[in-house]
Amino acid sequence: MSKLVIVGTVAFDAIETPFGKTDKILGGAATYIGLSASNFNVDSAAVSVVGGDFPQEYLDLLKNRNVDIEGIEVVKDGKTFFWSGKYHNDMNSRDTLATELNVLEHFNPVVPKNYKDAEVVMLGNLHPLVQQGVLNQMTKKPKLAILDTMNFWMDIALDDLLSVIKNVDVITINDEEARQLTGEYSLVVAAKKIQEMGPKFVVIKKGEHGALLFHDDNVFYAPALPLKEVFDPTGAGDTFAGGFAGYLAKTDDFSFENMKTAVIYGSTLASFCVEKFGTERMQNLTDKEIYERLEQFKTLTQFDIELS
């Protein structure tokens, strides 16, 4: 089993969807990634920053799920990163109502000493210079470096983003971001261009339409599980990334064939995340529930056909 370093925000979110709204609740990319990856009992550590207003019970939640929190800096006189958003009726689009960087504005990540030799690094959505700063602290090149990003960094820090993309093995982005990054509408062409930028593997997330995995000329498609209701899509992409990275860290197998299974695990865990607000569903997930949903995925995608 490999060690896993998780970099990203640990934050407060306030969310409004057609199903209701919340006050400040636990959120952040590293939180969702960590909770998702913890289902594989991997040796993981979160690298992030919070303010003095961040409840100890939230840190304990991560710790109790075997996520090392030594790398989460607490700025006693600072305020935690906060995001607020409102989802439209289709649940695919949203309006950002507030973004308060607070302690994140001057975040300088410090990887715990025991994890500087980690085999797998999951770089959650942050400024590319922060992501590169984490890679620079590793005492040896990780077997697998995974990067998640978004169009915001393409808008304001494209050169820095392209620089860090050169140094990772896998990139996970959504279809809109893949098109913006490459200027190509075809996702097949876009994935090929991204591979030429550095990553050997490209994962393009398509929300309710599943995810695509590209490697050389190989393509794999994993559907999203059709759900009766989606309460809150916040964190689904990060939960996917956590399941993907967690499974790969557990199996220590970074082949294309094994990544196909990792994509299925990521999609499975993301399907739980959206069933309740924030991290609520991920906090009490059982192995039995995961197994049963994997069976649903298998039934959804398996068929027999006679070719003549």
Give the residue numbers annotated as catalytic, written as ranges: 238
How far is 303 from 91, CA to CA, in rounded Å?
30
Question: What SS3 string covers the chain?
Answer: CCEEEEECCCEEEEEEECCEECCCEEECHHHHHHHHHHHHCCEEEEEEEEECCCCHHHHHHHHHCCEECCCEEEECCCCCCEEEEEECCCCCCEEEEEEECHHHHHCCCCCCHHHCCCCEEEECCCCHHHHHHHHHHCCCCCCEEEEECCHHHHHHCHHHHHHHHCCCCEEEEEHHHHHHHHCCCCHHHHHHHHHHHCCCEEEEECHHHCEEEEECCEEEEECCCCCCCCCCCCCHHHHHHHHHHHHHHHHCCCCHHHHHHHHHHHHHHHHHHCCCCCCHHHHCCCHHHHHHHHHHHHHHHCCCCCCC
Residue 32 is encoded by which pair of tokens?
């969702």
How far is 228 from 17, CA to CA, in rounded Å?
15
Close Cβ partners of 94 (under 8 Å, ≥ 6 residues apart)? 85, 86, 87, 88
- C-alpha angle with apex 29: 10 to 44, nearest 5 degrees? 80
